Chains A and B, each alone.
Chain A
Amino acid sequence: MSTETRRSVTKVLIANRGEIAVRVIRACRAEGIASVAIYSDADATALHVRLADEAWHVGPAPATESYLDVDAVLAAAEASGADAIHPGYGFLSENAAFAQRLMEAGLTWIGPPIDAIKAMGTKIDARERMINAGVPVVPGATAEPGSGDAGLVAAATEMGLPVLIKASSGGGGKGMRAVHEASELTAAIAGAKREAAAAFSDETVYVEKLLIAPRHVEVQVFADSHGNVVHVGERECSIQRRHQKVIEEAPSPVLEPALREAMGQAAVAAAKAVGYEGAGTVEFMLDSAGEFYFLEMNTRLQVEHPVTELVWGVDLVRAQLRVARGEALPWAQADLSPRGHAIEARIYAEAPAAGFLPQVGTIARLRVDLGPGMRWDSGYAEGDEVGVNYDPMLAKLIAWGPDREVARTRLAAALRTMALHGVVTNRGFLVDVLEHPKFIEGDTHTGFIAEHYPNGWELPVPPRAALVVAGLADAHRRAGGGGGFAAIVETSAPWRGVTPTFGRTGGS
């Protein structure tokens, strides 16, 4: 636990882009402090740059040469006179060396202590700390020292199949293999090691019991430098595609208060075990028997934090700013209680009917009707270009309701009426999942998409009404001038250096 006194947070550089940079800028405004954006060549006029109080260029379009360039980011901080850095999520957010460097430069790191990042950075170490702290972990094993792959095969066999081979330094599904047959073990271990070595420069792998149809339930924790640690309830993020979350909600449709309390306490114990400060998320797998197991801790703000904010009535990013300054948490555990239900849909520039391939283009029109309880967190506005350099997540649409069904209905209706033209997105697929009978029942698990969409997803055929609209608008456009049809936007997308994937007939 840090005993450090107050730290300076008066001008915050946001070492990120897109919707999370926008989110942090808004928190800075709410807190009455200055915000500094950074941008690559591709983002010179991006939304986060337009909204920040000032913006500094950090390099060319590839993230490795701009947003991930520690020297360039620190130079921007110095040039701008920022006294604190918020890393957002992704990019440098879990990079202990970056945090170390900026602290050495006298800047305030809006994130957890470096030791906590490191402690949760490798899965084998994290598992051991959790076991010691009494937090349940998925049954697992490492190879006996010196026993090599054969030792791992023996450990897996003893545990009983199916198992998961996982990279200790892994993340995002890389270096991970599910094994159902004993004959596949040796090859799976070798494959996981190769992938892990290439992706993380660490070929250490271990074996974990494979849970069947688990739910992904994670707990938001928050700690300050005065020893206070609270949990802010759970989020269920079971709707995933290739380990990428698609729809998240709070609370989980299945958690009873007793289980919520048990998972909350386990998450608090996990945070305490690593001397955590700031916002963090403890991820668990919840099996069909109601047993939960520690998966990993994300030592940063999560993409899906808005559902927690809407249900618990908190501003997690403002709280991050305050805790980084050395203030005590704005809430005690007893102050926190959930109200209603919130669901978030991630809008990706990808084509669900074409293998979810990432898409590019210029956003010709972007209109979302936001009624009560709705929130729109986006890194893009109408007219912006979506390129190939960064994550394809364009925006998050979040709905709150007094109960799950109201939230679900609001979200589906807003997605249905939303116009996002010029870039193919997963919007139609999101509506389909939200209106799936099993989703409506709350019968979700991490294999939901694979189970219910085994052959992918098909575009709907345009109805006659769509032809009528196209013909109507086209007739007026051809008649020219007088109408001034603002809805008709002609753009030419710069395809330079990319392999274009064009939109095609059907729903987006």
Chain B
Amino acid sequence: MARRFSVGDEIVEVAGRPSAGGATLVIDGQAIEVEARRAPDGVWMLTTPEGTQLQAQVSLVKDTFWVTVGGDTFVMADQIESRESSAVSGGLEAPMPGKVIAVQATVGQEVAAGDTLLIVEAMKMEHGIKAPYDGTVSAIHFGVGDAVEPGSPLCEVAAKEDA
């Protein structure tokens, strides 16, 4: 199963399978062999097909990869295609550049986890922005027709306090 990452304005698909000495990866349709070994503390040492040596640290938190490599850290959320994406990755942010095509909630409204709050159209696909938990809609930052950037907070839901 491929991961989909935003790189600038593009979505790049990354898939792969492990091999004895590393992995075979398919990045943006191109297959590459990566040599890699992993230290007990989780640090990866890898050599790219071009012969570049890299040290890297990586964590996966929910569907977001945190990658420290080459003197910087990159936070890369998997831009999951399915409609579940919103619930999994939080759902209150625009998943990709697009346009709000419907607002289905109002400020002050009580919502249940999974209720659709807004619909964003991006890359010719509709994405339902769903409440990640039960709560009350406390803010809606965009209206129908507004353009949104990936990661823009679209609305806010104050979680219902546990009894």
Taking Cβ atoms with an 8 Å cutoff, the residues of A that contact B are 354, 361-362, 364-365, 367, 416-422, 424, 427-428, 431, 460-479, 483, 485-493, 495-508
Contacts and interface: CB of A to CB of B under 8 A. Distances in A.
A468 B40 contact: no
A24 to B, nearest CB: 30
Contact of A499 (B5, B23, B57, B158): B158
Given A474-B3, A505-B74, A422 B48 contact: no
Contacts of B1: 478
B5 A467 contact: yes
B16 interface: yes
Best-surrounded residue of A365, A464, A489, A502 (most CB of chain B within 10 A)? A502
B54 A465 contact: yes
A503 B41 CA distance: 24
Contacts of A498: 159
Given A468-B27, A500-B90, A421 B18 contact: no
10 contacts: A419-B66, A468-B25, A468-B27, A471-B23, A472-B44, A485-B42, A497-B161, A502-B77, A508-B66, A508-B75
Contacts of A462: 5, 7, 67, 74, 76
Interface string B1-45: 101011110001011111000111101000010101010111110
B137 to A, nearest CB: 11
Contacts of A489: 59-61
B132 interface: yes
Nearest to A479: B18
A361 B1 CA distance: 27
Contact of A474 (B8, B14, B153, B161): B14
Contacts of B51: none
A490 B66 CA distance: 11
A466 B69 CA distance: 6
B73 A508 contact: yes
Given A490-B61, A504-B151, A470 B132 contact: no
A488 to B, nearest CB: 5
A457 to B, nearest CB: 13
Interface SS majority for chain B: strand
Contacts of B32: 468
A314 B95 CA distance: 51
Contact of A471 (B16, B66, B68): B16
Contacts of B138: 499
B3 A495 contact: no
Given A461-B7, A464-B27, A503 B64 contact: yes
Nearest to A420: B73
A491 B44 CA distance: 21
Given A496-B159, A504-B75, A468 B5 contact: no
Given A465-B52, A499-B157, A500-B90, 12 more contacts: A417-B68, A462-B5, A462-B67, A467-B7, A472-B34, A479-B17, A487-B42, A488-B59, A489-B59, A499-B92, A502-B64, A507-B74
Contacts of B18: 475-476, 479, 483
A491 B8 CA distance: 27
B90 A502 contact: yes
A461 B150 CA distance: 13
B9 to A, nearest CB: 9
A465 B70 contact: yes
A380 to B, nearest CB: 15
B56 interface: yes
A506 B5 CA distance: 10
Given A475-B25, A489-B61, A468 B46 contact: yes
Contacts of A421: 57-59, 61, 66, 68, 73
Contacts of A485: 38, 42
B106 interface: no
Nearest 3 Cβ contacts at the A-B interface: A487-B42, A421-B66, A421-B59
Contacts of A476: 18, 23, 38
B89 A502 contact: yes
Contacts of A475: 16-18, 23-25
A326 B62 CA distance: 54
B61 A361 contact: yes
A419 B158 contact: no
Contacts of A508: 66, 73-75
B156 interface: yes
Most buried by A among B15, B59, B162: B59
Given A424-B75, A470-B5, A491 B61 contact: yes
Contacts of B7: 461-462, 467, 505
B61 A362 contact: yes
